[in-house]
Structure 1
């Protein structure tokens, strides 16, 4: 990696059984990222607190069940308290929260536990903010992660920006929860769409996040472009093949690097499950069974796949085969603490070419490849990626995290069916300026003398380059 380039990364981990376990996993990911000289790491939507996929909280039109209310109670209890307030329109404390200027809590309680009442002054929040700041500070990695945040009596789907030097420098609250999400997540204020900045090795990076289907809102995307961002972040829960084209569109529109992150969730992984006959199961409520130690030989085997793109931009997903045509697999217990970085190259397929093609794969010199036992092979059936039949049997969500350039090229990913790896790309942020030569959707190309965008509570003044 040359000094002028910044290494940006993403991953597809799934929420763990408890919030402390998820925070521990973030620590593990951040340390691995640091060992691979990664500067910025994006993690999925609702990663801390969990995405309650497959449940309806006992609600149908005109009716709610007592069981559903109990389930909401459990979900609320495991959401994190970042010490913020509801604020006007769900804006929270904004800069006052960032600067820790909100008034602390003071309650009547038993300070010594021996009876009697004393005033106990509590710091704001449950310590999650401080833990994330500690992880970023100790690893030197700028973290952006999704979380389910509680404030007052409401839950918000949020994303936090955690700087290694400054701590939390901003927080997003999802403006428009999608479909049944509206039952449990309140609407955040568009005032939280404000972009933030960091400087890494002398390079100023203006970054902002659009959460999941907010990315389908053209005016919301435009509000981010208008702030002169060069890094567009898209934590999501959308694992469909149609997601990547949207990310490529945002990159081209905004002439910015786009990083997307979505959880890869296994049906049999005990991390997050769909609704069962016994009722909905939320990942945070599952308790780890420590009474039995799993046999590593029985761990789920993963096919290591690659992706290539044809001239029309269509993704072709291929298994990694050995010389005999067998598919190499690896046990989860054998994965090294370092993850392989892959860069996807466009490959042209002609009618005279062989049925199988190879992807160009490159790893930085600092990367340590995944350990693969070459003696473990098996014949793999053809998997129809257009229907996803095989994947649907094994995964609740397939992931699909990716990194895209300002010209719409896929630099890393999509990371399908991999809940352990980290993918990254070394990027030159001056490519964002190079792209403005012919397209600047918030400036010279916008015809802002005719088309005007205003956002309630949000200053759209563009951030500087330096």
Structure 2
């Protein structure tokens, strides 16, 4: 029997860019806060560990790259994490100490081949101190494609918890109708959407997805100011003339009929809490179940390839 009520928390913040320890300090601090507020689930923004390089060109123009941009990228690589690895063990320890399901957006370093490719990922940690799974962003957005590799269907992760099934899609992945359908078909009850999109249209997206999927949607966004950027970056000139606030946030919690449970938080760092009545998920599907009675499999079918995408395979002679 699932728990009918769960207290959730969504963080709106950003670390000092490319500073892993700064990110961990914030994760530890907000996790303690969440424990004191008796939260069961805590969510951090897209690539919170160790930052989203908003506004930086990393020395890239069509047809050329600069040596300074390459050095900035190396700092990003050095502040990324391995899954599994020492840093994920540290996250798992934080989750266990604070008895939380902890969901963190991270920059993940490829361990399978060269070790050089980075992925925009979500890592899931359990209150028992275990790494429960990860998700790699399937399609990096715009110029993110130079920073991050493409994930595959093997990390369309959904995790069963005592209060329901949780899983996530990252930022504009949520504009991919078939990706959403795959998550709905996995029985998602709480969809987690770490993001870097602070536009008004993102709020319409959250409400639509909640209403479409008849699930709770937890959106965790960044609040970023120029003060979090190292001034010795080669690319600091890229943002020098920008406004001080680079991302205003907009973290929110939406219920399974598309209504706000917690309104968007703007123009400040913070954490929002909500007590979710999970019985409302089932009640909301009474008249609309997008992969159930409101589906027409005789007309529409979706095939999802969940095999791991191996670039190279070696065979013994």
| TM-score normalized by the length of structure 2 | 0.89
Answer whether contact 1:236 1:261 (CA < 8 A) is retained. Answer: yes
- 1:5 is matched with 5
Distance 1:222 1:4 in 2: 25
Q: Does 1:225 align with 2:180?
A: no
- 2:133 is matched with 170
Distance 2:233 2:304 in 1: 45
SS in 2 for 1:136: helix
Distance 1:458 1:181 in 2: 24
- 2:153 is matched with 190
Distance 1:394 1:62 in 2: 31
Q: How does 1:250-269 map to 2 (within 5 A)?
A: 250-267=209-226
Q: Does 1:271 align with 2:228?
A: yes
Point out the structure with the larger helix share.
Answer: 2
Answer whether contact 2:217 2:254 (CA < 8 A) is retained. Answer: yes
Cα 1:134/1:277, change in 2 over 3 Å: closer
Q: How does 1:237-386 map to 2 (within 5 A)?
A: 237-267=196-226, 270-272=227-229, 279-281=234-236
Deviation, 1:393, is 3.7
SS in 1 for 2:248: strand
Q: Does 1:133 align with 2:92?
A: yes
Distance 1:221 1:168 in 2: 24
Unaligned runs of 5+ in 2: 309-317
Deviation, 1:74, is 1.7
Deviation, 1:279, is 3.8
Spell out, residue by residue over 1:382-409, the C-alpha distance to the aligned partner (whole angstroms, 9 max, x if none): xxxxxxxxxx844100011000000001
Distance 1:149 1:31 in 2: 24
Deviation, 1:76, is 1.0
Spell out, residue by residue over 1:34-70, the C-alpha distance to the aligned partner (whole angstroms, 9 max, x if none): 1011111111001002111111221111112222222
Answer whether contact 2:4 2:279 (CA < 8 A) is retained. Answer: no
Match of 1:455 among 298, 304, 313: 304
- 2:311 is matched with none
Answer whether contact 2:47 2:120 (CA < 8 A) is retained. Answer: yes
Distance 1:266 1:218 in 2: 32
Answer whether contact 1:413 1:423 (CA < 8 A) is retained. Answer: no
Deviation, 1:25, is 1.2
- 2:78 is matched with 77
Cα 1:458/1:412, change in 2 over 3 Å: farther
Match of 1:400 among 250, 271, 281: 250
Deviation, 1:4, is 3.6
Deviation, 1:194, is 2.6
Larger Rg: 1
Unaligned runs of 5+ in 1: 84-124, 283-391, 460-466
Distance 2:5 2:30 in 1: 21
Answer whether contact 1:194 1:458 (CA < 8 A) is retained. Answer: no
Answer whether contact 2:72 2:233 (CA < 8 A) is retained. Answer: no
